[in-house]
Structure 1
Amino acid sequence: MRLLLMSDTHLPSRARELPPPLMAELPLADVVVHAGDWVDTATLDLLEERARRLVAVHGNNDGPELRGRLPEVARAELDGLRLGVVHETGPAQGRERRCAERFPDLDVLVFGHSHIPWDTTTGTGLRLLNPGSPTDRRRRPHCTYMTATVAEGRLTDLTLHRLPPRTANRADGGG
């Protein structure tokens, strides 16, 4: 089972559309995970229409319509893997302990908010993943998203994809 992980798309304020390399991953993914801060409902509509399965939450920048359509925390069982999604996990310091305490029943937690890619494992074995943002790199050199494979309850082949920088006349979400 192939996963496509993204967060913090912030459309249309950070880009006009999702970047083409990320969009090319959509038909390859069995499950699309979005960890919040959509900003517009059009992106949610697009992913609901095109994704085979969408596991998603709202973020702190999402208004009432998105909050009405998406939960604060989402959970899914994917081929034996217990996956959770939440937008905010608080400051980096102490994140592993807080998340392990809050989500003791998960194998993997995907989160967003910082726009900074993250991949750590807590002392309890909970894997924490932040795919970054495909449209707003903030203090990072690249905009990013992740792909991974799930098989027999294990997450494998995790890849952080770095998008090429956008040019002034190409507002496609690349960087």
Structure 2
Amino acid sequence: MRLLLLADTHVPKRAKVLPVEVWEQVDAADVVVHAGDWVTPDLLDELEQRAAQLVAVWGNNDGPELRRRLPEVARVELDGMRWGVVHETGAKQRREERMRAAYPDLDVLVFGHSHIPWDTEHEGLRLLNPGSPTDRRRQPYCTYLTCTVAGGALSEVTLHRIGA
């Protein structure tokens, strides 16, 4: 099972559209995960139509319609792994310990908010932040993640740099 992980797209606030490269990844993915900060529902509408499966949450920049349509926290089982998605996880200090305590039943937690890619593991919880494909902020590149889930295992976690 091939996954595409996105967050902080901020369309059309930071970019008019998602980069073509990201849409190609949407088409290739079995599951698209979006960890919030859509800004307007238009991109959600497009992804709901185009993605084979979408797992998504709202973020702090998302208004009433997105909050009505999406949960604050999403949970899904993907090929034997328990996944969670949330926008904010708080400060980076002790993030792993806080998230393990907050989500004791998960194998993987995807989050956003910081626009900073993150990939760590703590006591069996893998934490992944794909960064942003449209707003690099203080990062050198806009980014997203892809990975594979098979037989209850996560593999091929790859950070992609747009324009690198």
Specify if TM > 0.5: yes
- Specify the SS of the correspondent of 2:77: strand
Residues in 2 aligned to 1:155 and 1:40: alpha-carbon distance in whole angstroms: 31
Residues in 2 aligned to 1:136 and 1:37: alpha-carbon distance in whole angstroms: 11
Residues in 2 aligned to 1:116 and 1:67: alpha-carbon distance in whole angstroms: 23
- Whether 2:123 is the aligned partner of 1:120: answer no
Residue 50 (structure 1) shift: 0.3
Deviation digits for residues 137-161 of structure 1 (CA, Å, limit 9, x no counterpart): 0000000000000001111001000
- Whether 2:148 is the aligned partner of 1:159: answer no
Residues in 2 aligned to 1:55 and 1:43: alpha-carbon distance in whole angstroms: 14
- Specify the SS of the correspondent of 1:66: helix
Write the mapping of 1:34-113 to structure 2, written as runs, cut at 5 A: 34-113=34-113
Residues in 2 aligned to 1:163 and 1:48: alpha-carbon distance in whole angstroms: 23
Deviation digits for residues 101-133 of structure 1 (CA, Å, limit 9, x no counterpart): 0001000000000000000001x2100000000
Residues in 2 aligned to 1:8 and 1:27: alpha-carbon distance in whole angstroms: 19
Displacement over 2 Å in runs of 4+: none
The percent of aligned pairs where both chains have the same amino acid is 68
Residue 39 (structure 1) shift: 0.2
1 or 2, which has the higher strand percentage?
2
Residues in 2 aligned to 1:131 and 1:150: alpha-carbon distance in whole angstroms: 16
Give unmatched runs, 5+ long, in structure 1. Answer: 166-175
Q: Which residue number corresponds to residue 27 of structure 2?
A: 27
- Specify the SS of the correspondent of 1:146: strand
Residues in 2 aligned to 1:105 and 1:90: alpha-carbon distance in whole angstroms: 19
Deviation digits for residues 73-93 of structure 1 (CA, Å, limit 9, x no counterpart): 000000101010000000000
Give unmatched runs, 5+ long, in structure 2. Answer: none
Write the mapping of 1:138-157 to structure 2, written as runs, cut at 5 A: 138-157=137-156
Q: Which amino acid aligns with 2:37?
A: D
TM-score, normalisation: structure 1 = 0.93
Residues in 1 aligned to 2:134 and 2:26: alpha-carbon distance in whole angstroms: 16
